[in-house]
Each structure stands twice: as C-alpha cells, then as structure tokens.
Chains A and B, each alone.
Chain A
Amino acid sequence: MEIKVIKNILGENDRFAAENRAMFAEKGVFVVNFMGSPGAGKTSVLEKTMERLKGELSMAVIEGDLFTSKDAERIDRHGVPVIQINTAGGCHLDANMVQKTVREMDLAALDLLVVENVGNLVCPAEFALGEDARAVVLSVTEGDDKPMKYPLMFKESEIALINKIDLAPYCNFNCASAKEDISMLHPGIEIAELSCTTGEGVDVWCDWLRRGVVAKKAEVRA
C-alpha cells in the first residue's frame, strides 16, 4: 500500500522557528543568525561590534558551541548579556534550542540579539531559528573558492563579511572573484571587507545592524 505524505523533513524545526519569529516580532528585537566556518572570526567581529555599539543599542548574544563556554566568556567580558548553548557535538543550532534559551532572556529590553551559530559552513543554513536575517563571515585564509563550494550559506545570508582582510597580502585570496561569486549566488547581498585587527569595515557592519534594528522597530509600530 502506498501512502502519500508530502511533508517537510525539517517541518518540526520550522514550526519552532515560526514560534520564535512571532515572539521576536512581538518584542521588536532584531535577531541575526551569525554563521561561518570555525575560526572565521565570528566572535572577534562580535567583540568589535560590542565596543562600537556600547551605550547605543541594547544587545544580547547567544553563543552556540559544541562543548565549551570560551566564546561566551569573551562576550561576557564586555558586559553584554550572553547565554551559552552547548550542542554536545551537534554541528548547528536549531530553533528548539534557541526557544528554550530565549525564555530566560528579557527580550523586551533588547534592540538586537545576535546568535553565533556553531562554526560550520554547511548545515546551519538549513535550520531556521526564527531570525530576521542571516549573516555569514568568510575569512581570507579560507580561500576565495568557498562561496561556490558552500553556496547555500551565502545564498541564505543578507550580508557577507570578508574578514581578516589585513592578512590578504599573505594569502592568494582574490577578493574581486569572491565578491563576484557571492553576488552571483545572491544578487543584491551586502558585502563588507573587514578586519578585526585594524577595525577596518566594522562600521559598515554596524550600520547594517543599526538599519535592521530601525526597520524592526518600525515594523512593530506599524
């Protein structure tokens, strides 16, 4: 006997994501799913971000990590509320984990919530968390071929940060070619070259965050 089904395999995750999205909308907090390879510089970018936005935006961070709290400790040093999710080997965050975590947060007091996903260029892109936007960090030491090798991550992101641009002279990273590939995958995507060492480009990223926060608040009022 054949049974017709037609159901999404990730339907369960999508249901939790929709609940999260409704909750974030109600509280008017702009939520970013922050993704990229291990070591691309996600936490470093957040450290720079907190320095810049201190006193201007009310921000919190969720840190996804396989086993440790090292990244959460780095965030905590800046006095920004941070909650750690240990995936215990899981290679991405899912919407259910985020839902359990945000229950402990005072969302109404926030303008911006950044969720640093587990370092991984593949499957985090498949798991919606209820975020408003996704951002991906690619560092020049990873090579300019990565967007085409891991297309989904770049397709699904609203902004791509090309990080460690200070190291570009030492790597054979062709920035023009990487940007062209990213724009081909996602026409209209925002791309910023950035260095956490020199601080170059951090303002472009912070401006993008500011615009997101403003747009989210306008949405809530409407």
Chain B
Amino acid sequence: MEAEAAQWLRGLFSIHHREAGNNHATKVREVGLLIGEMAGVEQESLEFSWRVLTEGTPAEGAVLKVRRVPLVGRCAKCGREFHIEHYDFWCPVCKDGVLKTISGREMQVEYLEVD
C-alpha cells in the first residue's frame, strides 16, 4: 500500500510546508507524528514514502518521530474507559455496553523541529 502512504505524506508535507514557511525555516530536522493504534498506516511505508517525497526539499533527511496513541473507548452505558483489546468494542464490565472510541484513530502532525 505504498500509494496510500504517499497520499498521507502529501497531506503531511503540505501542512509542514505551510508551517515551516510561516516560520521562515530553512531546514526541517524532525517531524513529530501522532498515529493512533487503529489508524490504517504502517510505519515502514510511511518512512519510505517520506524519504522519496522530501528529496531535494528543506525536509530532506528529516526524522519522523512517531508517537503511537492507544485505542481507548468509553462505555456508553457505564461510562468507564478501557484500552480496547483485540478490537473488541463490547464493554468488558457491563457486557452489553458499547465502547465509543475516544482515541486511537489519530493521524496528526504534532510538531516540527526546524532551524
């Protein structure tokens, strides 16, 4: 799934073009990403596409620092929060309560480290 990673990266790249431009940065050293446990993105294809996409730009050689966000749900019935195991969205306590995702679907740029 190289193509989809490339499209995400284009989104990321346009964000970071804008932000780096606003701050008159000449070189991007590091990009911090927040990637949810249930986001459909693989770190390896992300890194590969990143290298290709940034070649010859101020972001060439920039490191991608990925922070994984755990998949957490809140029970619509009892209100308790759980880490969702094995994609089981039924509440482990009240059994027929459903867990609503509150984190774990993120695909975000958190910060840029620039010169």
Contacts and interface: CB of A to CB of B under 8 A. Distances in A.
Interface of A: 1-13, 89-92, 94, 122-123, 125-126, 148, 151-152, 155, 184-188
Contacts, number: 94
B11 A12 contact: yes
B112 A3 contact: yes
A9 B11 contact: yes
Interface in B85-107: 86-90, 98, 107
Majority secondary structure of chain B interface residues (helix, strand, loop or mixed): mixed
A5 B111 contact: yes
B40 A12 contact: no
Contacts of B98: 187-188
A123 B112 contact: no
B96 to A, nearest CB: 8
B101 to A, nearest CB: 8
A3 B89 CA distance: 36
B108 A155 contact: no
Given A11-B15, A148-B87, A187-B90, A126 B114 contact: no
Most chain B beta-carbon contacts within 10 A, residue among A8, A91, A148: A8
A188 B91 CA distance: 13
Contacts of B109: 5-7, 9
A90 B23 CA distance: 33
Given A92-B4, A94-B7, 15 more contacts: A1-B115, A3-B20, A3-B23, A3-B111, A3-B112, A5-B110, A5-B112, A9-B33, A9-B107, A90-B7, A91-B1, A122-B1, A152-B40, A155-B87, A186-B89
A195 B47 CA distance: 42
A152 B105 CA distance: 10
B39 interface: yes
A202 B90 CA distance: 29
B8 interface: yes
Interface string B14-38: 1110011001010000000100001
A155 B113 CA distance: 35
A121 B115 CA distance: 41
A151 B15 CA distance: 28
Most chain A beta-carbon contacts within 10 A, residue among B33, B87, B110: B87
